[in-house]
């Protein structure tokens, strides 16, 4: 498989502050690669270094095997979709799309043909002579994508382009962008702070924090097998419960939580008894009033504090009996649990396989 | 990238440096040097402060200087007092649909050359002028009087010529005053004068300062208006400079006068900014 | 009070009266000047002796209309040319200045910025004399050292252009800077990213964005140059500009030809101002 983008040990320092700290990754041709991280984690700086708008302090960036160090942004085979799109307001839609082609000095008839083709591809046929401010948010989005794709870049970089859209349109554009990427087959590098965008669209996702990559993996693995506490908490909802290891035999440990509950759970590495740990439990891993016949469940009682109704994402906010730890518990909307009221005492069970433990640092 | 930015810097900075050094910095250094040179008895040039001493020894020179400064302050004050209600009316009182039209009307006369405007006043006010004509017709006067060539007319002319530079900053600063501030003050029981001094004037300070600085400077440096309607007795300092340069051909004396005027206007700007705690950068914006 | 608050009838009426008076004060001299351009009299004064176009078109020994008045026509042509070159120079250098101060970083930037603002606080008369003195010094130096007689250093056309340019460029810099500050620099990055070089970015993106400000400041620069008196007074050679020429005539007694010229100026500048306003409104929409 051809590697379109290879980033090795890239570091960017601004005076004392290290924005990006020795980041390495590779993106194969035609993949949708996302970099997910909270704002200020250095993901935009990383993207700007790939685009050439910022020079790295050290490290190498290669696109299709060619080093990009010292190559100005206008000579790089990558294009960037800006956060606020940066469409040229003084030009019409067609002129915006033709801009890059004209800079390459392509001839007029070729440009016209290519502009028409790309407009058709993004479903904007006939919008050529519209002004930018006559377009809706979604249409602007597509013009920005068309303006880059028409140049057939090796890699298309996207800097949170959905951030400015309202919720409904954002959901819609997520699907549309994924379909478009599959259709054109261009390598996408997408940065976002919205985990749902990253999970829905990407083939693989890098989770970034404080200038470093915490984990690069498929969306499924990030969710189910987080490698660091940060990933466990940042990707999807998670309940964190601190405790201490009581016993450890091979792959199963026994944890006593701060409020005195004792659970057993699987681990990949052995942990010495006495080690301080954080136990992470997904809301949907906790089953409400489980069947008493199921074995291997950690069972305990909670008191319901409030019911957070949000359609399919409804949850219960509960405290373990006689303890202060707050837990979020998934509340499936299949009417089975409609009887639950605030202050009810209910039993919760979770499988040994679904808890994840990290030693405390 | 780096090399390209340097190239851009070089491209932009060259014309600007040429402009500022050849036309502003060097000429003014030359002016300063010249003001300290005089001809001695044998006709050679030498260093001396006699040009400045002359200024203090001849009452006509320093009196004119002081007179010019005082009248410029008066003109600035009058311009402000006249312009403030106008700016307030246009931005806050008149129906919005007239706003654009009135603003346009306000600015229109100032697109016309200062000379034409002064000339207009001359044919209005002189002995054979339009004013006298009507006053005679109405029987208020039985003999035409000369209304030009006195200090009052000169001040009127100066106020008229520099009005624009007060009105425009006041208009824009009033425009930015949120109506609800006035409404809130009113609601809290303030009367018109409290609103004027506690809300409007504090808010308008940047505009007032920039307007006043420009008006003061332009008045101080005005030659045309005092010369044409202040007549022979106008005694405006720019006329002294002109006389030294063009009539007496004593450039060194003229340079010293020029520098004194420059000094006065710089001091005024500096004081204006200091007193109101504004920065020049903020005021020009 | 303001329009959204109730106010008394006297308040409204007296305010209205004040505004009417103000506008009368503003327009009276211009109106009178225009009207008297059509009076069939040897002097620009009342009584009204009938309507005539002769001060425009006449070609009699005692009554030469402006269209046949060679001296005045020549001075208009000089002013047109001066203003053209001043506009060209100040718009190009001023735009460079805007880029320099808004987009580049270099040592001594605050100092240079302060120097750029200096022409605002230097009275026009001082600018005129300092440039006159400096150019004369240079002229003498060139002649003594290299036996070169450089026409540029003597009062005349090009010295007037340079003198006016020296302060009009500041104005252009400020106007263009204000617009440049509103420019979203990611547009430049986007253009770079799409393959444009720095020159193409400036040409296709930034200058396009600045166009309204550049055109607007060009119009203002043209008018300011056309009407400049103070600086020009000291730098003018044998070719008098229109304001200088009119000044000499007004000072030494006037004929309605001056009214005719004034009429043309008033109508011309008003139309130009309206057109400028119209286009700038259209551009911003």
Nearest to B16 among C96, C103, C269 (CB): C96
Residue A214 pLDDT level (bands cut at 50, 70, 90): very high
Phi (first) and psi of residue B146, to 5 degrees: -80, 115
Which of B13, B4, B281 shows the shortest CA–CA distance to C97? B13
Assigned domain for C48 exists: no
Mutation pick from C182, C186, C190 vs chain A, by most beta carbons of A within 10 Å, is C190
Neighbours of chain B (3+ CB pairs under 8 A): A, C
Residues of chain B with pLDDT > 90, as a percent, come to 14
Contacts of residue B266 in chain C, CB cutoff 8 Å? 121
Residues A13-42 have a mean pLDDT of 91
Assigned domain for C131 exists: yes
Tell whether A147 and A220 lie within a shared domain: yes
B4 to chain A, any CB pair closer than 8 A? The answer is yes
Residue C38: predicted pLDDT = 83
How far is the C-alpha of B140 from the C-alpha of A249, rounded, in Å? 120
Q: Given an 8 Å threshold on Cβ–Cβ distance, is B4 in contact with A52?
A: no
Q: Given an 8 Å threshold on Cβ–Cβ distance, is C192 in contact with A53?
A: yes
Residue C283 pLDDT level (bands cut at 50, 70, 90): low
Residue B41: predicted pLDDT = 73
Place of tokens 């603002």: C117
Instruction: Please give the residue range of the domain that contains residue C240.
Output: 67-284
A265 DSSP β-pair partners:
A253
Residues B243-268 have a mean pLDDT of 86
The alpha carbon dihedral of C268, C271, C277, C280 has a sign of negative
Tell whether A252 and A219 lie within a shared domain: no
Assigned domain for C73 exists: yes
Residue A274, phi-psi category: left (phi > 0), alpha (psi -120 to 50), beta (remainder):
left
pLDDT in tens, A150-205: 998 999 999 988 887 888 888 888 888 898 898 888 999 999 999 889 999 999 99
Assigned domain for C27 exists: no
pLDDT in tens, C54-85: 777 777 777 777 777 788 888 899 999 999 99
**Per-window interface: C 111-150 vs B, CB < 8 A:** 112-127, 129-134, 137
Which of B95, A184, B21 shows the shortest CA–CA distance to C3? B95
Q: Given an 8 Å threshold on Cβ–Cβ distance, is C29 in contact with B124?
A: yes
pLDDT in tens, C162-189: 999 999 999 999 999 988 988 988 898 8
Total domains in chain C come to: 1
pLDDT in tens, C113-133: 989 988 888 888 889 999 998
Neighbours of chain A (3+ CB pairs under 8 A): B, C
- Distance from C85 to chain A by nearest Cα, in Å? 29
- Of A213, A234, A255, the residue that ends a domain is A234
ipTM: 0.84
Mutation pick from B29, B115, B281 vs chain C, by most beta carbons of C within 10 Å, is B115
- Distance from B274 to chain C by nearest Cα, in Å? 15
Structure tokens that stand for C143 in this block: 């002649």
Residue C160: predicted pLDDT = 93
Tell whether A179 and A256 lie within a shared domain: no
pLDDT exceeds cutoff 80 at B26: yes
Residues B58-72 have a mean pLDDT of 89
pLDDT exceeds cutoff 80 at B231: no
Contacts of residue B25 in chain C, CB cutoff 8 Å? 115
Assigned domain for C279 exists: yes
Q: Of A126-130, A207-211, A270-274, B281-285, which gets the smallest average pLDDT?
A: B281-285
* Domains defined for chain B, CATH in brackets: 52-105+161-284 (1.10.3720.10)
- Of A234, A252, A276, the residue that ends a domain is A234
Residue C237: predicted pLDDT = 83
Tell whether A195 and A255 lie within a shared domain: no
Tell whether A67 and A204 lie within a shared domain: yes
Tell whether A165 and A37 lie within a shared domain: yes
The alpha carbon dihedral of B75, B78, B80, B86 has a sign of negative
CATH of the domain at C78: 1.10.3720.10
Residue B278: predicted pLDDT = 66
C273 to chain B, any CB pair closer than 8 A? The answer is yes
Tell whether A224 and A264 lie within a shared domain: no
Nearest to B220 among C118, C123, C169 (CB): C123
pTM for the whole structure: 0.80
Where b means 16+ CB within 10 Å and e means fewer, A216-243 reads bbebebbbeebbebbbbebbbebbebeb
C13 to chain B, any CB pair closer than 8 A? The answer is no
- Distance from B100 to chain A by nearest Cα, in Å? 26
User: In terms of pLDDT, which residue wins out, C279 or B36?
Assistant: B36
Q: Given an 8 Å threshold on Cβ–Cβ distance, is A79 in contact with C192?
A: no
- Of A234, A265, A291, the residue that ends a domain is A234
Residue A15: predicted pLDDT = 85
Which of B129, B122, B200, B214 shows the shortest CA–CA distance to B164? B214
Residue B80: predicted pLDDT = 94
Total domains in chain A come to: 2
pLDDT in tens, B33-52: 888 888 777 777 778 888 88
C231 to chain B, any CB pair closer than 8 A? The answer is no
Tell whether A122 and A160 lie within a shared domain: yes
Instruction: Please give the residue range of the domain that contains residue A309.
Output: 239-359
pLDDT exceeds cutoff 70 at C280: no
Residue B2: predicted pLDDT = 47
pLDDT exceeds cutoff 90 at A302: yes
How far is the C-alpha of B265 from the C-alpha of B271, rounded, in Å? 10
Residue C1: predicted pLDDT = 61
Is the distance from CB of C242 to CB of C78 less than 8 angstroms? yes
Tell whether A138 and A204 lie within a shared domain: yes
Tell whether A33 and A73 lie within a shared domain: yes
């Amino acid at each position: 498989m051809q590697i379109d983008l290879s980033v090795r040990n890239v570091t960017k320092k601004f005076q004392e502050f290290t924005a990006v700290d020795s980041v390495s990754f590779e993106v194969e041709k035609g993949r949708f690669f996302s970099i997910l991280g909270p704002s200020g984690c250095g993901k935009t700086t990383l993207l700007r270094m790939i685009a050439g708008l910022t020079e790295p302090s050290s490290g190498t960036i290669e696109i299709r095997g060619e080093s990009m160090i010292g190559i100005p942004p206008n000579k790089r085979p990558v294009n960037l979709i800006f956060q606020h799109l940066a469409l040229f307001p003084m030009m019409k839609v067609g002129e915006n799309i033709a801009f890059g082609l004209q800079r390459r000095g392509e001839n007029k008839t070729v440009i016209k043909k290519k502009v028409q083709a790309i407009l058709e591809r993004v479903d904007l046929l006939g919008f050529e002579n519209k002004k930018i401010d006559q377009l809706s948010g979604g249409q602007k989005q597509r013009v920005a994508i068309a303006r880059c794709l028409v140049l057939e870049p090796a890699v298309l970089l996207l800097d949170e382009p959905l951030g400015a859209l309202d919720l409904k349109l954002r959901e819609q554009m997520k699907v549309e962008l994924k379909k478009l990427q599959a259709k054109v087959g261009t390598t996408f590098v997408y940065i976002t702070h919205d985990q749902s965008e990253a999970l829905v669209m990407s083939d693989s996702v890098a989770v970034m924090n404080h200038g470093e990559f915490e984990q690069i993996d498929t969306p499924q693995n990030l969710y189910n097998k987080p490698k660091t506490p940060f990933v466990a908490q940042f990707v999807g909802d998670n309940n964190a419960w601190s405790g201490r290891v009581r016993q450890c035999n091979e792959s199963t440990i026994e944890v006593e939580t701060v409020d005195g509950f004792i659970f057993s759970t699987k681990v990949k590495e052995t942990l010495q008894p006495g080690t301080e740990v954080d136990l992470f439990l997904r809301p949907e891993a906790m089953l409400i009033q489980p069947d008493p016949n199921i074995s291997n469940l950690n069972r305990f009682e909670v008191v319901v504090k409030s019911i957070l109704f949000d359609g399919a994402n409804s949850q219960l906010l509960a405290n373990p009996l006689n303890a202060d730890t707050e837990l979020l518990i998934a509340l499936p909307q299949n009417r089975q649990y409609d009887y639950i009221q605030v202050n009810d005492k209910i039993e919760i069970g979770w499988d040994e396989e679904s808890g994840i433990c990290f030693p405390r640092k | 990238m780096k090399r390209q930015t340097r190239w851009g810097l070089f491209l932009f900075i060259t014309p600007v440096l040429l402009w500022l050094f050849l036309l502003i910095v060097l000429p003014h250094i030359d002016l300063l040097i010249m003001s300290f040179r005089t001809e001695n008895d044998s006709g050679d040039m030498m260093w001396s402060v006699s040009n400045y001493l002359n200024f203090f020894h001849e009452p006509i020179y320093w009196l004119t200087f002081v007179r010019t400064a005082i009248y410029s302050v008066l003109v600035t004050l009058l311009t402000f007092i006249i312009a403030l209600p106008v700016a307030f009316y246009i931005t806050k009182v008149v129906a919005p649909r007239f706003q654009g039209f009135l603003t346009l009307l306000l600015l229109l006369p100032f697109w016309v050359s200062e000379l034409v405007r002064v000339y207009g006043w001359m044919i209005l006010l002189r002995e054979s002028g339009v004013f006298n004509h009507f006053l005679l017709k109405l029987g208020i006067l039985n003999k035409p009087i000369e209304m030009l060539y006195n200090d009052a007319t000169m001040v009127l002319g100066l106020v008229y010529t520099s009005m624009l530079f007060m009105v425009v900053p006041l208009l824009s600063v009033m425009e930015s005053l949120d109506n609800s501030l006035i409404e809130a003050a009113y609601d809290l029981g303030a009367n018109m004068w409290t609103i004027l001094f506690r809300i409007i004037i504090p808010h308008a300070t940047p505009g007032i300062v920039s307007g006043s600085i420009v008006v003061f400077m332009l008045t101080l440096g005005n030659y045309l208006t005092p010369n044409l309607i202040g007549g022979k007795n106008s005694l405006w300092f720019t006329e002294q400079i002109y006389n030294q340069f063009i009539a007496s051909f004593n450039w060194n004396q003229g340079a010293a006068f020029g520098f004194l005027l420059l000094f006065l206007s710089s001091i005024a700007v500096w004081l204006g900014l200091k007193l109101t705690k504004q920065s020049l950068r903020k005021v020009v914006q | 009070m303001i329009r959204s608050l109730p106010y008394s009838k006297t308040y409204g009426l007296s305010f209205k009266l004040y505004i009417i008076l103000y506008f009368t004060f503003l327009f009276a001299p211009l109106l009178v000047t225009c009207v008297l351009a059509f009076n069939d009299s040897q002097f620009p004064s009342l009584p009204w002796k009938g309507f005539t176009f002769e001060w425009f078109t006449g070609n009699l020994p005692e009554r030469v209309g402006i269209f046949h008045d060679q001296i005045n026509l020549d001075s208009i042509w000089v002013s047109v040319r001066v203003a053209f070159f001043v506009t060209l120079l100040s718009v190009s250098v001023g735009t460079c200045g805007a880029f320099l101060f808004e987009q580049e970083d270099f040592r001594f930037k605050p100092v240079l910025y302060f120097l750029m603002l200096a022409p605002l606080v230097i009275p026009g008369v001082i600018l005129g004399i300092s440039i006159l003195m400096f150019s004369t010094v240079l002229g003498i130096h060139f002649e003594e050292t290299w036996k070169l007689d450089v026409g540029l250093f003597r009062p005349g056309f090009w010295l007037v252009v340079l003198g006016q340019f020296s302060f009009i460029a500041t104005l252009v810099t400020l106007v263009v800077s204000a617009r440049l500050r509103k420019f979203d620099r990611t547009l430049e990055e986007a253009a770079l990213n799409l393959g444009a070089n720095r020159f193409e970015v400036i040409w296709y993106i930034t200058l396009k964005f600045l166009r309204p400000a550049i055109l607007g400041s060009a119009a203002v620069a043209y008018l300011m140059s056309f009407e400049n008196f103070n600086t020009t007074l000291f730098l003018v050679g044998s070719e008098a500009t229109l304001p200088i020429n009119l000044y000499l005539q007004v000072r030494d007694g006037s004929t309605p030809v001056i009214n005719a010229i004034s009429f043309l100026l008033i109508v011309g500048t008003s139309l130009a101002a309206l057109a400028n306003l119209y286009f700038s409104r259209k551009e911003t929409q």
